[in-house]
Structure 1
Amino acid sequence: MTEQYEDAEEPQTRILTNRQVLGFITAFWLRRKGLLAGTVGFSIIATGFDLATPWAAGKLVDALAKGPQAADLAWTAWAVFVGVYFAFSVTRNVAPRFWIPLAAQNMREMTDEGFAKVQGFSADWHANTFAGATVRRLSRAMWGYDVVSDAFVMWLGPAFLVLIGLAVMMILRWPMVGTFAGLVVALYIASNLFLTSTYVRPLNQKAVGFDSRIGGALADAVTSNPTVRAFGAEDREETRIAGVTRAWAQAAARSWVAGTNVWLAQNLILVVLQAGLTGLLIHLWTKGEASAGDVAFAITSFMLMSGYLRNIGDQIRMTQKGLVDVEDVARYAGMSPQVADRPGAPALTSQLGEIVFDQVDFGYQAAEAQLYRDFSLTIRPGERVALVGATGAGKSTFVKLIQRLYDLDGGRILIDGQDIASVTQQSLRRAIALVPQDPALFHRTIAENIAYARPDATPDEIELAARRARAHEFIVKLPKGYETLVGERGVKLSGGERQRVAIARAFLADAPILVLDEATSSLDVETEREVQGAMEALMAGRTTIVIAHRLSTIRHADRILVFEQGRVVEEGRHNELVDRGGAYARLHAVAQGMV
């Protein structure tokens, strides 16, 4: 069987250009114009002093060439030479003091906003995307921003100023020498940009793609560790991970070799610059058109230029990788949420919990036909309604549409007379308490998990919710009671304990609408009885929707809706439907083992 590691969304991702990603990063720089101006300003001043270094070195050599009789002039030139470098060192050190707070805040905001954007994507997007890969992309983008920003503002900008300044100074004094230096510098930079974008970038993108897959594959295997152990499949998972890391290593090696090849080409160009620049000045010196100080100027200029050019080469390669690292989050920023709040949408104000499906049309994107067509249904305030039917009949979709995890193709859904498409999604979902079949708890304390429904709840309110959910008894027996960490997804607790924590959370939410999604289907009979008692207390006074395969759990529902292919084919109370001898009676017979 072919191993698949990539996200389902990956083949459809839109590749951004370097310019688009850089534009995304620049927008963050411009959020703090004062700090940016301070950074750039002191960097320019420092660059001016750096440019003066070859000139000061030349003046010092010329003064020394006059002999000991010009000692005063020599010491003055020495003082200027030292002063220029001291001024460069000080001003160059001031620039990062503006840059550091700008970078730290921007990196924080990029991560926060990327996370917020990802949270807003649809349930389908998250289902088709490895969580570990998404985490890797968000964290990698933060450091990619740091690399690109440092390269552009702190290194490449000053480097270009120095190189242009030195070329201009040479052209003004020795046109041939300055022109040569300018042409070689231009060749160096142009070849670097061309090779990096056409040769190195594609290889970097492949390596980064495999890096994301490592995150996804690791998270998938680590999260499913109990299943791995249950089937004795440790060796198999290690082989799977080794396959991903092997592909990454091959891609990364190709990327690094490409960078090394570009580095070799750059150093050969520097050899040409060194030989030509110093050779031309020595030629002028032999003709009496240049002094020893001028030769010193040329040598110092080459050392300065070669240092900056090497730095430019390194920074361009690092920038290219950084842009690739930021690309995913930049793309997320340009994506619209699949389900979005309308501008100025008000909060839902729900007290009663009436739910109305008004001529609803809906179908999943991948489906050939719509699941719901002209579907209408009313659930009265405080009514207990059970949804039954075969897998794929539309029960879970019914709940997802109430939560507005998807937008409708037609019609509308009303809660207490308000169209759920016209209110904020957060307020809508706060009005619906959900107890799923397998509650996913956070790797936090039991108290924090219960209080997730209402973070401002007091310890007494948390304990009261736990008592009502019949969870207090097992919680106080734990080593740290309510401060016990439950492990990732609550793995330290049994299924029944997780269910009762989820029920306590729902009690604390105190929402007018309650959804119980197969909430007892995976529990043993004794635990089910305890959880069922807690759920009975929770349902009191709330509009309740129960999805259940165990028909014994819905005998006392006010109304049972039997779904088939997105339609309600029967409805009524348990005894009525059994006596009717229709679809529900057949399901009941199967459940009782009579067929």
Structure 2
Amino acid sequence: MTDLHDDEDDNRPRTLTNSQVIAFMAGHWMGEPRRFVLIAVLMLASTACDLSIPWATRGLIDAVATPTSPTDKAWIAWASLSALYLAFYSLRSGMFRLSNGYYSRIMARMVTGAFGRVQAFSADWHASNFAGATVRRVSRAMWGYDSASDALLWMLTPTLIVLSGLAISIGLKWPAAGVFVAVLVVAFAIFNIVVSTHYIRPANLASTALDSQIGANLADAIGGNPVVKGFGAEAREEQRFSRHVDTWRAAQHKTWNAFNTVSWGQNLFLVVLQAGLTGQLVYAWSHGQATPGDVAFGITSFIVMAGYMRNFSEITRMLQKGLDDMVDVATYMRTEPQLADKADAKPFRGELGEVIFDRVTFGYENAARPLYQDFTLVVAPGERVALVGPTGAGKSTFVKLLQRLYDVQSGRILIDGQDIAHVAQGSLRRAIAVVPQDPALFHRTIAENISYARPEATEEEVILAAKRARAHDFIAGLPKGYDTLVGERGVKLSGGERQRVAIARAFLADAPILVLDEATSSLDVETERQVQAAMEELMVGRTTVVIAHRLSTIRGADRILVFEGGQLVEEGRHADLVARGGAYARLHAVTEAGA
């Protein structure tokens, strides 16, 4: 199983290089090739105007510095210079206007694609990664793309074109000065590439990882706010969060200092360029080898070049930070889901609910031995089976394998004669309705939570499902009824109310297989009776798998399966197993003693 960024070790270096992240960006640029080409043409045209300004300035200075020059020549030179400035700003404005919609669509595709890929990752991956950190990474990548694209396409590319073009222009008139400028430009580019890769990037990645940790810890503490309040631990959590923020602050301070150091080096190149270029031009003028217009050309060339080079520190910062903000999402998109559908996967089609575990061997990663070894079991259509046994015996694993949240190492699992490893996962899971011990509800309306099983369900079908789940009465008593928002994970509802909403959702799903995972263990007696009655109706005509520690809730099961260490040690009906005096009888005795 591929391990992406386990949050327990999130400060380790990322594996993707800058060039790989840029390739990821380029793939998005090519999503609209015509728009990209048009924007690039506008960028190149505006850069050409900027590159021509020193030449126009030279013509104007020569025209006004020569007493015998006609006045019309000066006005023509003035008009040419003014037209270049007008064209430059107009083309740049048009380029950015076209870029706005282009960028927003790419950012939308990027975050949507990242969300889809993260959803496709296995349950084990999600269990190993903080949701808050994942959210931070995905949302940060959008703005990382915005910054990196601006820096790379509309800032860095024109900078390199202008610096190279003016070096050539100067070299055509004064070869020695041209060589000097060219060497300095090449050295400047090499300096920036080296320090960005080997000096700035490591510091920036560390602070970016810690930024993700801030999101992770913030979400963790806020999500656990009832526990925090229950123990009066607000001050303790604030101190804990403050320590994380202080760690990030130190790393971010180091990153900013790295940028500042690089900026100082870039400015040193600028000083050398100014002194060397203007010094050579003054020397040429003093020896009659340059006109005032030539000197103005050189000075204007330096001013244009300096404007671009002076911004190079900010460009470097934007580009490197943008690339580092995207590296997580780029990694996600290059990583195949751990449990991908097979190439020949077909939609699951079945209505009976027959389940067969055929010589299944399965063990968790890093476990000393397999939990299941050549495990075989047949559950008949419509049969009610209960899974009991101590913690770690393999009950929950049974359900996870049934849903194909993990792949078996050998053997196969069949549902209605179909090997679940060769059917589309989404269609398989829609055929299995699960009512867990602690149902997870979305911060949406009650109606939306119930209809999540079948979004196209009508209002009447939603209400009918709620009535069958014994949920309609409490929903109708709420101020907004079915339009009531339930809060994050359903915190505005009681445990019994959440349970009945989950049962209503299962009714609406109308799946052939039903899994009840400790669905009543945390309820009071009166609520348990209501939920149990709803579940009894829900089980009718469905293959049902019940996981239970309270053995009183499974007396009516067609078959009780007793697990120990992944092995099926006993099976039978309640009365028979009690009379047998084995493992189930011991569990029953403990339960009765604690009742």
Q: TM-score, normalised by structure 2?
A: 0.97
- Correspondence for 1:328: 328
What secondary structure sits across from 1:378 in the alignment?
strand
* Cα deviations by residue, 1:365-397 (Å, 9 ceiling, x for unpaired): 021100000100010011110000000000000
What does residue range 493-504 of structure 1 map to in structure 2 within 5 Å? 493-504=493-504
- Correspondence for 1:560: 560
> Contact conserved, 2:344 with 2:422, CA < 8 A, in 1?
no
What secondary structure sits across from 1:441 in the alignment?
coil
2:256 equivalent to 1:237: no
Compute the displacement of 1:69 (Å). Answer: 6.4
* Aligned mates of 2:482, 2:129 — CA distance in 1: 34
- Correspondence for 1:432: 432
Compute the displacement of 1:66 (Å). Answer: 2.0
* Aligned mates of 1:101, 1:431 — CA distance in 2: 41
- Correspondence for 2:349: 349
* Aligned mates of 2:13, 2:357 — CA distance in 1: 35
> Contact conserved, 1:193 with 1:316, CA < 8 A, in 2?
no
> Contact conserved, 1:465 with 1:508, CA < 8 A, in 2?
yes
2:73 equivalent to 1:38: no
Which amino acid is 1:118 matched to? V
- Correspondence for 1:396: 396
Compute the displacement of 1:9 (Å). Answer: 6.0
> Contact conserved, 1:362 with 1:409, CA < 8 A, in 2?
yes
* Aligned mates of 1:433, 1:220 — CA distance in 2: 28
What does residue range 101-500 of structure 1 map to in structure 2 within 5 Å? 101-500=101-500
Inter-CA distance 86–274: structure 2 relative to 1 (3 Å threshold)? same
Compute the displacement of 1:593 (Å). Answer: 0.3
> Contact conserved, 1:475 with 1:482, CA < 8 A, in 2?
yes
* Aligned mates of 1:267, 1:11 — CA distance in 2: 32
> Contact conserved, 1:47 with 1:162, CA < 8 A, in 2?
yes
* Aligned mates of 1:477, 1:181 — CA distance in 2: 79
What secondary structure sits across from 1:413 in the alignment?
strand
What secondary structure sits across from 1:593 in the alignment?
helix
* Aligned mates of 1:267, 1:425 — CA distance in 2: 57
Compute the displacement of 1:86 (Å). Answer: 1.0
> Contact conserved, 1:387 with 1:547, CA < 8 A, in 2?
yes
What secondary structure sits across from 1:236 in the alignment?
helix
* Aligned mates of 1:537, 1:561 — CA distance in 2: 22
Compute the displacement of 1:94 (Å). Answer: 2.1
What secondary structure sits across from 2:7 in the alignment?
coil
Compute the displacement of 1:272 (Å). Answer: 1.1
What secondary structure sits across from 1:387 in the alignment?
strand
Compute the displacement of 1:408 (Å). Answer: 0.4
Unmatched 5+ stretches in structure 1: none
* Cα deviations by residue, 1:223-265 (Å, 9 ceiling, x for unpaired): 0000000011111111110110000000000000110111111
- Correspondence for 1:586: 586
* Aligned mates of 2:69, 2:377 — CA distance in 1: 107
Greater displacement, 334-343 / 386-395:
334-343
- Correspondence for 2:86: 86
Greater displacement, 29-38 / 307-316:
307-316
> Contact conserved, 1:9 with 1:128, CA < 8 A, in 2?
no
Which amino acid is 1:77 matched to? A
* Aligned mates of 1:389, 1:46 — CA distance in 2: 74
Indicate the RMSD between aligned Cα atoms, in angstroms: 1.5
Inter-CA distance 195–412: structure 2 relative to 1 (3 Å threshold)? same
What secondary structure sits across from 2:105 in the alignment?
helix
Which amino acid is 2:298 matched to? A
What secondary structure sits across from 2:32 in the alignment?
helix
Compute the displacement of 1:100 (Å). Answer: 2.4
> Contact conserved, 2:13 with 2:205, CA < 8 A, in 1?
no
What secondary structure sits across from 1:145 in the alignment?
helix
Greater displacement, 9-18 / 352-361:
9-18
* Cα deviations by residue, 1:278-333 (Å, 9 ceiling, x for unpaired): 11111111111111111111111111001111223321222111111111111111
* Aligned mates of 1:434, 1:13 — CA distance in 2: 39
* Cα deviations by residue, 1:205-237 (Å, 9 ceiling, x for unpaired): 110010010011001000000000001111111
Which amino acid is 1:493 matched to? L
Which amino acid is 1:209 matched to? A
Greater displacement, 227-236 / 336-345:
336-345
* Aligned mates of 2:10, 2:256 — CA distance in 1: 24
> Contact conserved, 1:9 with 1:129, CA < 8 A, in 2?
no
Inter-CA distance 366–36: structure 2 relative to 1 (3 Å threshold)? same
> Contact conserved, 2:63 with 2:69, CA < 8 A, in 1?
no
- Correspondence for 2:528: 528
* Aligned mates of 1:11, 1:590 — CA distance in 2: 47
Compute the displacement of 1:123 (Å). Answer: 1.2
Which amino acid is 1:172 matched to? L
Unmatched 5+ stretches in structure 2: none
* Aligned mates of 1:103, 1:74 — CA distance in 2: 43
> Contact conserved, 1:36 with 1:98, CA < 8 A, in 2?
no
2:573 equivalent to 1:573: yes
* Aligned mates of 1:76, 1:108 — CA distance in 2: 48
* Aligned mates of 1:507, 1:354 — CA distance in 2: 19
What does residue range 67-86 of structure 1 map to in structure 2 within 5 Å? 67=67, 70-86=70-86
Greater displacement, 10-19 / 61-70:
10-19
Compute the displacement of 1:357 (Å). Answer: 0.4
* Aligned mates of 1:73, 1:171 — CA distance in 2: 26
* Aligned mates of 1:123, 1:57 — CA distance in 2: 65
What secondary structure sits across from 2:557 in the alignment?
coil
What secondary structure sits across from 1:31 in the alignment?
coil
> Contact conserved, 2:58 with 2:297, CA < 8 A, in 1?
yes
Which amino acid is 2:169 matched to? M
What secondary structure sits across from 1:522 in the alignment?
coil
Q: TM-score, normalised by structure 1?
A: 0.97
In the TM superposition, structure 1's runs of 4+ consecutive aligned residues that sit over 6 Å from their partners are none
Which amino acid is 1:124 matched to? D
Compute the displacement of 1:268 (Å). Answer: 1.6
* Aligned mates of 2:69, 2:184 — CA distance in 1: 40
* Aligned mates of 1:53, 1:294 — CA distance in 2: 13
Compute the displacement of 1:68 (Å). Answer: 8.3
